[in-house]
Structure 1
Amino acid sequence: MPNARPRQPRMDLEVRREQVLDAALRLVVREGYAATTMEAVARAAELAKPRVYAAYPGRGPLLVALLEREQQRMLEQLDIAMPPAVERAGFTDTLARAAANLLEAVAAHPDSARLLITPAADAPVEVREYTSRTREFALANLRGLIEWAADRADGPGSLDPEILAVSLLAVGEQLVRLALADPEEYPADRLIGFVQQAITRLAPAE
């Protein structure tokens, strides 16, 4: 009688889901969304494919769950990336503090950060919709900060607020890419110093 395939040990569904998400994270950050199929995740997690489907019904829901988990990890590390208005010392200081918190979160969870800035063009529609909502949420926070700072002495003055919000988001994304690509060349203090100097230039001259 041929040897039967060894049975995989039973595990709690939540534990299996974490195992599946960990495997999917490794695949996305190393090979991209296109390579992160259910079959590839099953191999990476060393699980039978039916067990992966038992944890998540399809590739789209799996990847959205992964994005939600990694975003939550970043948010927990950020703590308060954008301080409430009552705690803000000024426009420049608030942006510098947010940048510092962001870069500390990147250093603590580099794979989470890589996932969140990975282009989603080849991802399932659920992932593209999720990343679009996340980007709009970030823009809304920046718009709120710019509106709060509009009449402050160190505020952005007459700069177009919508273009400024989009530009600040693009700068933040690029800071994350630099921190991930070459942390020795672009340490956090260098990047934060740049933010402080650049935003100070936006403040009206006294």
Structure 2
Amino acid sequence: MSDPSAGSPPRRRLAPADRRDELLDRALDLVAEHGAASVTMQAVAREAGVARPRVYDFFADRAALLDALLVREESRALSDVMTVAPRVLAGTDLGDSVTTALEAFLRLVLDRPTTWRMLLSPTEGLPAEVGIRIERGREKIAGVVEASIRAVLGTRIAGLDTEVVALAVIAAGEAAARLVLNAPSEFPPARLTGFTRALFSVLTLEPVPNGRR
């Protein structure tokens, strides 16, 4: 497909930083509509209403464009999780803490559905470096969750293996997020958190006396 024609309405002039953000916004729009595989230099130029060489002014190639988009969206997602995780895990009851954390996480997912769809998507068909970026983003988020569980719950519940709990919470959270994103009417957040609360209601864990492990 050709670049925008000379007869198109003139685009407003933007500062370089604003233009770069706009190109990333249009790339995110493409991810939302057609998946990450649809993000090409030509497609972003078309969505932004600029000539393709203008996209190359900011990004060396498709891999660099996708990497920059992931850096931005990963940063936003990580900031959200870091804000929520320590607060929602503050309770002494593991079931309540995990259920509240899942509920808060699914709200974050629904607030930024395209970001999380991209971070949780398969990496096939993407440049190798982009797949690595996605995996690293997941690892960073997992690290925040594990640190929060260790710091908040590890000293309050006797015999709690915080590493295993963190891995289970992360795996369950990712699975729940995919269900909410892909089948929202069948799997609303309330159904998933209700299941989590019911599951933990049959488990008992002994609190740590005086807050000691």
* TM-score with structure 2 setting the length: 0.76
Structure 1: unaligned runs, 5 residues or longer: none
Following superposition, the deviation at residue 53 of structure 1 comes to 1.0
What is the CA RMSD across the aligned residues, in angstroms? 3.0
Aligned residue pairs: how many? Answer: 199
Partner amino acid, structure 1, of 2:199: A
State whether residues 139 and 169 of structure 1, in contact with CA within 8 Å, keep that contact through their aligned partners in structure 2: yes
Cα deviations by residue, 1:38-88 (Å, 9 ceiling, x for unpaired)? 122212222111111112222222212212322344345556221169x72
Counterpart of 1:89 in structure 2 is 91
Counterpart of 2:116 in structure 1 is 113
Counterpart of 1:14 in structure 2 is 17
Following superposition, the deviation at residue 172 of structure 1 comes to 0.6
Cα deviations by residue, 1:125-170 (Å, 9 ceiling, x for unpaired)? 33222112122223323433554545644x6x476x6554333222
Identity of aligned pairs, percent? Answer: 34
Q: In structure 2, do the counterparts of structure 1 residues 117 and 43 end up closer, same or farther at CA, with 3 Å as the change threshold?
A: same
Structure 2: unaligned runs, 5 residues or longer: 208-213
State whether residues 20 and 45 of structure 1, in contact with CA within 8 Å, keep that contact through their aligned partners in structure 2: yes
Asked whether 1:177 is paired with 2:183, we answer no
Following superposition, the deviation at residue 92 of structure 1 comes to 2.7
Partner amino acid, structure 2, of 1:169: I
In structure 1, the residue corresponding to 2:125 is in which secondary structure?
Answer: coil
Q: How does 1:116-155 map to 2 (within 5 A)?
A: 116-148=119-151, 149-150=153-154, 152-153=156-157
User: 2 CA distance for matches of 1:132 and 1:75?
Assistant: 13
In structure 1, the residue corresponding to 2:85 is in which secondary structure?
Answer: coil
Following superposition, the deviation at residue 200 of structure 1 comes to 4.5
State whether residues 78 and 101 of structure 1, in contact with CA within 8 Å, keep that contact through their aligned partners in structure 2: no
Counterpart of 1:167 in structure 2 is 168
Q: In structure 2, do the counterparts of structure 1 residues 142 and 89 end up closer, same or farther at CA, with 3 Å as the change threshold?
A: same
User: 1 CA distance for matches of 2:186 and 2:69?
Assistant: 30
User: 1 CA distance for matches of 2:31 and 2:14?
Assistant: 24
In structure 2, the residue corresponding to 1:185 is in which secondary structure?
Answer: coil
State whether residues 80 and 108 of structure 2, in contact with CA within 8 Å, keep that contact through their aligned partners in structure 1: yes
State whether residues 83 and 94 of structure 1, in contact with CA within 8 Å, keep that contact through their aligned partners in structure 2: no
- Partner of residue 62 from structure 1, selected from 49, 61, 65: 65
Which deviates more from structure 2 when the two are superposed, residues 169-178 or residues 11-20? Answer: 11-20
Counterpart of 2:210 in structure 1 is none
